[in-house]
A and B are shown apart, each in its own frame.
Chain A
Amino acid sequence: MSGITAYGAYIPRNRLLKSAIADANDWFDTSLRGLAKGERSICNWDEDTITMAVEAGQDCLSVLDAGSVSSLYLASTTLPFLDRQNSVVVSQALNLGDRLRTMDVAASQRAATSALINLLEFGAAKGNSLLLASEHRRSKCGSRAEMLWGDGAAAVAVGNEDVIAEYLGCETYVTDFVDHYRGEDSTIDYDWEERWIRDEGYMKSVPLAVSRLLDKTGVKASEIAHFVLASDKARTPAAVAKKIGIAAEAIADNHIGDVGVAGVAHPVLMLTEVLEKAKAGDLILLTGFGQGTDALLLKATNAIASRRPRTGFNGALARRREDTNYNRFLSFNSLVDRDVGKRGELDKQSYLAAMYRRKDLLTGFSGGKCRDCGTIQIPKEKYCVNPACGALDSQDDYPMSAVKGRVMTWTADRLTFDWNPPAYFGLVEFEGGGRLMMDFTEVEAEAMDSGVEVSVHFRIRQFDNQRGFRKYFWKATPAQQ
């Protein structure tokens, strides 16, 4: 039996109130006010598709042996690099080793479901394959998309052991239906009329693929317990379900009002919520819409409740911080030309040869453990840091991305240039040993003090806008906030 073996979710903590978007923009487009219910997830300045994928992957690996992962696909239409395999960055941040098949899958809103089909149909005979779907959505200031979309990532693992949702089959209907597009020179979608997309797109394409799949698998539409159809058109999934004959209560929530539709990641993110609540025997119909429709049928097994990830969809949804600062959202997404001051002008060149030498530290957050004295240290250097030891070349790699730490010293710096001042940083002491003076992120002022427990997170460290590059490193965040 093959199928889904684990899953994980990540939703950025920051949730922008939609009323803030409307307040800033309804002078121009009064129709936005009608959409201004609830909130949407937004990336922090230091989050992107890669960092969110790492977070979702970590959540998935909380119930999966990293050593069992033999391939990793990253699906997104907002990959930070057009030529530098993004999935490799993610795999190294997840410390999945160097004998991995990796691939970026892009260019359609059904990239993730297509990649999942690929893994289920042609996956490895042994071990697990990991699909990460992640999207940092880009939209114009004051657009409906800005109101309806959100950022997020999700992970599912596919394998033959410990299956929680058995794979029953798939069907794909392909047609060059251009409801929106994004050319190679653009970061923003251009879209067509909603009513046409609904009537000629969703209402025709999805039922066609689904009916073929139901025929093939001998399943009745009425038997479907969970129907996943991602759409930023609030009433479309229900209309499609009705047309197919799927029960209204089977329709999975799109969470437009508290997350927003997270593009390629959204079908997988919705699936993680379904997997969290599904009961053994439940039939799950997962679809992906974009230039046709992917349809996959899954059946929850008896193991469904036994492999809940550390955070999961509901955990990620609950870990929220309300944000009303629309102006900051515009800044983070380069939708305004903010005066960053002269300190922001510092050249951010990345020296690729040096970066490669340091990749285990920078991407894997790997320190060293001394074979002679057992001292754990980060970064790993030539001589052991323990003055009583000082051994040369004595350290084995020691990944520390999952190790909790405590804040020893800290500050909130308003002088240094930061995209979201004040810049918090401090000295962190890790459980078991090792200390690092490092950046913090997403600190709530009242949560910070000496002694506070922190976890570390893979984040953007700097943008080199002059050369279109971005550096990543790990930052500490209070674990309890």
Chain B
Amino acid sequence: MASGIKDKVVILGMGCSKFGERWDASPADLMSEAFEESLADAGVDKSQIEMAWFGAGIDTFNVGSSAMPLSIALRLPYIPVTKLENMCATGTEAFRGAVYAVASGACDIALALGVEKLKDVGYGGLPQRTRGVENDMYWPNLSAPGAFAQLASGYRAKHCVDKAELKRAMAHISVKSHTNGAKNPKAHLQREITEEQVINAPYIAEPIGLFDCCGVSDGAACAIVCTPEIARALGKTNLVSVKALQLAVSNGEEAGFSNWDGSYLKTTRIAAQRAYDEAGIRNPREEISMTEVHDCFSITELVTMEDLQLSDEGQAVRDVLNGDFDADGRIPCQIDGGLKCFGHPIGASGMRMIYENYLQFYGLAGDRQLKEPRLALNHNLGGFPHQNICSISVIGRYE
């Protein structure tokens, strides 16, 4: 039986660009900004990187296809570079590629970098785009908020939750993330907001209002990974290692067959259990110190708390309103501000989350530093509630 990825690979260095409306920055600018930080942090030279994995989400509006944009932007010395796209899991997928390469022994040091330039599109929100020749013929005319807003209708119907109560819990999620994001100099949105603002904001897709949506930003993040032995040989101490990397991809069953009721994410539940098994986590509520989840919309974060087994089913509204996932709660969620405040440059988000784990483990998180974090869980969700890709990474102290 496979032994899994736990503790086979550590993070040698990380970098993350400032996220935001980077009007004057090209994708190459963002890539080099994150890359130079990671090189300095890792204490290695570019020539020591043997392989790279490149995550970029929306070809049409970003860097175009293939791995060349990364190789050209960083002037990589003709090393193997692989381009990855897997919707919102793209960043985590790039990380997975680099980690697996190191674990396999194919190389000693690998780079994973994700970038997305969303603000060249010319309007707010994710770009309106084709979904493929056949899908465009019958898929509904949906935006991302529209797709995820349906979680609210499914959740309300299943748990008989009052509309206003659910909206209030959703508002709490956004308020909490803004409170955290205000303490993060790399976040796009760095100001606090109030519950009233969230509740009274115009609807984007019922019941999702403007402040229930994450930002839309440009950004890049990257990681340089190697084995624990190599990291030690390079003088790195207090190592941070990969505990689990899991992915669950819908096969059409939720949408087309099963008794899935639209109130949760089936893929998250599957990927989470696999990740806990891989990481050896028996009681996630006791063992996980922090989560960075895919809060593309507040309702997504709410149901994800249940899908990750951090709230009992039907109790996320109560737990959220109780502050369980606030900075001082039992398991802080989006301590860096989340997608809510960083926005969601698709290719970068997964590694932006790991970057925050990394800062927290090394005590570098400034005003938002948590006390002795041990294990962090990161979660991305690409697609729509009825068919999607869920990636989960668990990062922790190498003990």
Chain A interface (Cβ within 8 Å of chain B)? 341-343, 346-347, 350-351, 354-355, 357-358, 361-362, 375, 377-379, 381, 385-387, 408-418, 422-423, 425-427, 434-439, 449-451, 461-462, 471, 473
Contacts and interface: CB of A to CB of B under 8 A. Distances in A.
A438 B150 CA distance: 12
Contact of A414 (B147, B150, B203): B203
B153 A387 contact: no
A427 B137 contact: no
A377 B157 contact: no
B164 interface: no
Given A342-B122, A437-B386, A450-B157, A423 B141 contact: yes
Contacts of B386: 409, 427, 437
B125 interface: yes
A408 B263 CA distance: 10
Interface string B236-262: 000000000000000111011110011
B262 to A, nearest CB: 4
A40 to B, nearest CB: 28
Interface stretch (B83-91, B104-112, B128-136): B128-136
A351 B203 CA distance: 34
A427 B255 contact: yes
B123 A423 contact: no
B213 to A, nearest CB: 9
Nearest to A476: B140
Contact of A413 (B157, B205, B257): B205
Given A347-B130, A413-B143, 13 more contacts: A358-B138, A362-B137, A362-B138, A385-B253, A409-B386, A413-B149, A415-B144, A416-B146, A418-B141, A423-B142, A426-B153, A436-B256, A461-B141
Contacts of A434: 256
B133 to A, nearest CB: 5
B198 to A, nearest CB: 17
Contacts of A438: 138, 140
A6 B152 CA distance: 45
Interface string B20-54: 00000000000000000000000000000000000
Interface in B191-217: 202-206, 208
B113 to A, nearest CB: 29
Nearest to A440: B140
Interface string B144-178: 11110111111011000000000000000000000
A343 B144 CA distance: 13
A437 B140 contact: yes
A415 B262 contact: no
B78 interface: no
B19 interface: no
Nearest to A387: B253
B143 A415 contact: yes
A461 B137 contact: yes
B153 A415 contact: no
A386 B206 CA distance: 32
A354 B123 contact: no
B276 interface: no
B347 interface: no
B201 to A, nearest CB: 12
What 9 pairs across the A-B complex have the smallest Cβ distances? A413-B146, A409-B262, A425-B140, A409-B150, A450-B157, A411-B149, A416-B143, A415-B143, A343-B128
Contact of B205 (A343, A351, A412, A437): A412
Contacts of B204: 413-415
17 contacts: A342-B121, A355-B137, A408-B154, A408-B157, A409-B157, A409-B386, A411-B147, A413-B141, A413-B149, A415-B204, A415-B205, A426-B153, A435-B255, A437-B139, A437-B384, A449-B153, A450-B153
A456 to B, nearest CB: 12
A361 B157 CA distance: 30
A356 B67 CA distance: 35
Given A408-B261, A411-B205, A412-B205, A354 B137 contact: yes
Contacts of B129: 346
A412 B206 contact: yes
Given A411-B153, A411-B205, A449-B153, A378 B146 contact: no
Contacts of A416: 128, 141-143, 146
A341 B258 CA distance: 38
Contact of A358 (B128, B137, B255): B137
Nearest to A343: B128
Nearest to A359: B137
B385 interface: yes
Interface of B: 121-123, 125, 128-130, 133-134, 137-147, 149-154, 156-157, 202-206, 208, 251-253, 255-258, 261-262, 384-387
A362 B125 CA distance: 29
A411 B206 contact: yes
A439 B136 CA distance: 12
Contacts of B125: 415
Given A423-B142, A450-B157, A346 B150 contact: no
A357 B137 CA distance: 11
B257 A381 contact: no
A415 B144 CA distance: 9
B128 to A, nearest CB: 4
B302 to A, nearest CB: 15
A361 B205 CA distance: 28
Contacts of A411: 145-147, 149-150, 152-153, 205-206, 208
B255 A439 contact: no
Contacts of A379: 138
Contact of A409 (B123, B143, B258, B385): B385
A44 B140 CA distance: 18
A439 B129 CA distance: 17
Contact of B150 (A357, A378, A427, A462): A427
B196 to A, nearest CB: 21
Interface centre among B139, B150, B258, B261 (most CB of A within 10 A): B150
Contacts of A425: 140-142, 146
A350 B138 CA distance: 12
Contacts of B202: 414
Contacts of B153: 409-411, 426, 449-450
A220 B139 CA distance: 59
Nearest to A419: B141
A415 B130 contact: no
B137 A385 contact: no
Contacts of A381: 252
A347 B128 CA distance: 10
A448 to B, nearest CB: 9
A385 B140 CA distance: 20
A387 B257 CA distance: 9
Contacts of B205: 411-415, 422
Contacts of B258: 387
A379 B139 CA distance: 11
Contact of A375 (B128, B150, B257): B257
Contacts of A377: 256-257
B143 A385 contact: no
B255 A437 contact: yes
Contacts of A473: 137-138
Contacts of A387: 251, 253, 257-258
A271 B305 CA distance: 61
Contacts of A415: 125, 143-146, 204-205
A425 B146 CA distance: 8
Contacts of B385: 409
A427 B387 CA distance: 11
A385 B206 contact: no
A96 B128 CA distance: 37
Nearest to B263: A409
Contact of B123 (A341, A385, A414): A341
Nearest to B256: A385
A354 B256 CA distance: 22
